[in-house]
Amino acid sequence: MRIIVLNSSNLVPDGQNNKLVYKFPNSVLFKDNHIAVSSVSMYYSWFNISAALQNNTFQYQWITRNETLGTNVTQTFTVIIPDGLYEITEINAYFQFSMVQNGTYLLDGGNYVYYAQMVINPTRYAVQINTLQVPNAAALPSTGYTLPSNYPGVFTNPAAPVLATNSFNPSLIIPQLFNNIVGYPVNFQTSLNINNTFNPATAPPNATYDNATGTLSYLSTKAPNVQPNSCIYFSLSNINNPYSLPSSIIYSLVPSGIVGTLITERPPQFMWNKMIDGTYNQLTLSFLGTDLQPIIINDPSMTILLTIKDNEETIGK
């Protein structure tokens, strides 16, 4: 058997860290040879939410006041999540950060009051969206709350923003691809519940409603897929596996720890793949996501060992 070692020095310098090229000292003739992954050491460092994956945005609606026109206006805000590794708690934290940036919250003394959130419901294995009633202008004095200086709307006195004349619940809109992260149908939208007039009779089956407070809760209707690339595939040139699509797949790596941890794996038994007969001067190993497209690996620190079995050696050994 022969061992080939690939590490960060073999990476193609394109910033994606998903392709390693091993160049032989001289051209090598392969005939009836087999190859297998014998050891993997790399960090769990591929993003689950990014612009490249097109799953980094969702929207929410908020009713504001235009005092110049004397009307209420429904504004739509887009939340763009920076590329990263996120759990639902981190997504919700960034959602709240965006609401602060947009002024769509209230102040209770020095405390920020948010009217929408995403949380994990472990009992139901679901992502739960909760929205609460934002009071109207008439109710605000009795709540003891104040508006932030950047509260959205058009006001006669910009230094003194006011709430809309209707109470409402913020409405979240879940677009395609982000919907897989949180487990909702494409373009699912929660109710604005204007003036707390939500009708449970017409509500979707995943919604619950508290008439007294106007609180709405929704449960995701399918299992959330927070990490769409929960495993990565190893694709090797010079391989033609007729039982695999693509035919170059030789291995699948599933991280067992949390994001950012070192993955170390030594297969208890080699999974041999026959190499295409021919003369080669290099081998190329690529990392693919579950969609079989190249996946960006953020940490270039890695060591991959490949074992080549000569044609006279027995496959079972």
The answer on 160 and 15 residing in a single domain is: no
Structural domain includes residue 316 = no
Structural domain includes residue 100 = yes
Structural domain includes residue 317 = no
**Series of mean pLDDT values for 10-residue runs along the chain (317 residues):** 94 96 93 94 94 95 96 97 94 98 94 97 96 92 88 93 96 97 97 93 90 94 92 93 85 86 92 92 95 93 95 58
pLDDT of residue 265: 93
Q: Tally DSSP H helices, then E strands, for the chain.
A: 3, 20
The answer on 214 and 124 residing in a single domain is: yes
The answer on 112 and 15 residing in a single domain is: no
pLDDT of residue 317: 47
C-alpha torsion 245→248→252→253, nearest 10: -140
Q: According to the 3-state scheme, what is the secondary structure of 41-59?
A: EEECCCCCECCCCCCCEEE
Of 94, 99, 62, which Cα lies nearest the Cα of 81?
94
d(CA 103, CA 97): 10
Are 170 and 60 in contact by the 8 Å Cβ rule? The answer is: yes
d(CA 121, CA 118): 10
Q: What is the pLDDT of residues 158-205, one digit of tens each?
A: 999 999 999 999 999 999 999 999 999 999 999 999 999 998 888 888
Structural domain includes residue 178 = yes
**For the purposes of burial, counting CB atoms within 10 Å of the CB of 124, is it exposed (0-12), middle (13-18) or buried (19 or more)?**
exposed
The answer on 204 and 157 residing in a single domain is: yes
Structural domain includes residue 243 = yes
Q: What domain range includes position 77?
A: 57-219
Structural domain includes residue 224 = no
pTM, two decimals, is 0.85
The answer on 91 and 169 residing in a single domain is: yes
Structural domain includes residue 314 = no
pLDDT of residue 13: 95
The answer on 293 and 148 residing in a single domain is: no
- Number of CB atoms found within 10 A of residue 218's CB: 23
pLDDT of residue 11: 97
CA distances in angstroms from 47 to 16, 154, 230, listed in the order given: 12, 39, 10
The answer on 213 and 104 residing in a single domain is: yes
The answer on 255 and 193 residing in a single domain is: no
Structural domain includes residue 91 = yes
Are 174 and 51 in contact by the 8 Å Cβ rule? The answer is: no
The answer on 77 and 153 residing in a single domain is: yes
CATH code at position 19: 2.60.120.1100
The residue out of 184, 201, 219 marking a domain boundary is 219
The residue out of 189, 219, 249 marking a domain boundary is 219
The answer on 245 and 193 residing in a single domain is: no
The answer on 265 and 148 residing in a single domain is: no
The residue out of 194, 219, 244 marking a domain boundary is 219
When divided into structural domains, the chain yields a total of 2
The pair of structure tokens assigned to 65 is 């006041």
d(CA 35, CA 16): 25
Q: Phi-psi category of 153—alpha, beta or left, where left has phi over 0 and alpha has psi -120 to 50?
A: left
d(CA 240, CA 92): 45
The answer on 215 and 234 residing in a single domain is: no
